[in-house]
Amino acid sequence: MLSDTRFSTPLYTAALAASHLGLSPSTLNRWLNKDALLTAVSGPSPRAPRLPFIGLVEAQFYRELRRAGLSMQAITSGMKVVRRELGVRMLVKGVIAHDGKDLLMNLAERGDPEWERARDRQLGLRGIIDIGLKPIVWGDDGLPIRLRLTAYGDTPVVADPAYAFGQPIVETSGARVEDILSMFKAGEKLVTVASEMGVTSEDVESIVRTHLTLAA
């Protein structure tokens, strides 16, 4: 997958990714550095972007697992096994699920699913539910091509390597989130920002609120 720019092109610093995911930088840095749960690319300097698009997808995925009630321990222990056993296949739709407590992985490449509990490889668990990969749009190769960033609530903010160099945009208009924030920080009113960026005032308010909440 090294030739696939979704995996090989660094687009986001940990701080930038955290701000768009509604996560604390310390949480994302833990997943990136201590737990090694995120795909990362070496940069020319410590402050350079390290996360490619797939790294952002993975972080969004772990965020959804936390929202579904899984503990950090369950995510960390489970995903270490999943990454080792499945590699990039872990991001193929229908490969991972959870039962509300533990991560489950489907080891069958075709046919009926063969579910195992990731952390201890226990077979036959019931109550499997969709893991909440709804924010992901899948390509013909079965891997993610677009990500809905759920931290922005009902505002359709997406990251797509094919647009704006992978930086988050408002899907309905193509306006970059960073440009909207820059205008607001420069003192422009919500309605002015909305008019200039081709989005609604509600969208601007949601984007600003998301970043102010995280900063607080």
What's residue 66's pLDDT? 83
Outline where DSSP puts E strands in the chain.
Answer: 96-98, 103-106, 115-117, 136-138, 144-148, 157-159, 169-170
Q: What are phi and psi of 198, to 5 degrees?
A: 70, 30
What's residue 176's pLDDT? 97
User: Which sequence spans correspond to the domains of the chain?
Assistant: 69-131
Tens digit of pLDDT per residue, the chain (216 long)? 557 899 999 999 999 999 999 999 999 999 999 999 999 998 788 789 999 999 999 999 888 878 877 788 878 887 887 788 777 777 776 677 666 566 666 666 655 656 666 665 554 333 333 545 678 898 888 788 999 999 999 999 999 999 999 999 999 999 999 999 999 999 999 999 999 999 999 999 999 999 887 665
Helices (H), 72-127: 72-86
What's residue 113's pLDDT? 58
What's residue 68's pLDDT? 74
Beta-bridged to residue 176, according to DSSP, are 169
What's residue 129's pLDDT? 36
Closest by CA to 170, choosing from 143, 200, 192, 145, is: 200
Q: What is the dihedral sign for C-alpha 20, 22, 25, 28?
A: negative
